[in-house]
Amino acid sequence: MRKVLMTAVAVGLLLAGQVYAADGSAVPAAKIGVVDMQTVATQSVPAQAAKTQMENKFGKERAALEKQGESLKKKAEALKNPKASEEKKLDFIRSKQDLDQKTRNFLRKVEQEEVKLRQDMVTLVFSATYEVARAKGFNFVVDVTAGGVLYADQSMDLTQDVLTEVNKIYKDKKGGKDSQK
């Protein structure tokens, strides 16, 4: 008796679900798009510009620190000689501490600049994604690189459209800044 009742309830739920699904006014079908944010973040014009900006801003300082590190390695080799004086050993330790402090300060500056550039890039990518999704009638857009998407039909992939829109927005902003100067 109990099995019959459970079967009847299950059949009733299935039929109700089919009737509800057949009603076109119930819930509109969601149009979901996907974007490979890693591609956008590495191949876009603003990403390349940020990379160049970082190299221009910090390249010389990085090279100087690397050169100082190489010089310190040579000093360390010279200290392996048992005849090395205590004064040279103390000088090496001071130089090493100085380089470590300079390196920490350098890395802190680079990190602060990277955070700012990343925030600007995220804002730009979100704006571009919103524009593309709105223009193409998508209800949701999911980041493929976030790991939740295992498969998506190519017709749902908005990566190239978002990449193009990011470049367009960036050029428009850059053009606006140039004309303000």
Q: What percent of the chain has pLDDT over 70?
A: 80
Using the structure block, give the residue that is written with the tokens 């999911």.
142
Residue scoring higher pLDDT (76 or 23): 76
C-alpha span between 181 and 172 (Å, rounded):
15
What pLDDT score does 48 carry? 92
Tokens of 35: 């974007």
What tens digit of pLDDT does each residue of 7-44 get? 555 545 555 555 455 455 556 678 888 888 888 888 99
Class of residue 165 by CB neighbours under 10 A (exposed 0-12, middle 13-18, buried 19+): buried
- Are the C-beta atoms of residues 32 and 157 closer than 8 Å to each other? no
Mean pLDDT of 139-164: 83
C-alpha span between 125 and 35 (Å, rounded):
10
Tell me, yes or no, if the pTM score tops 0.85: no
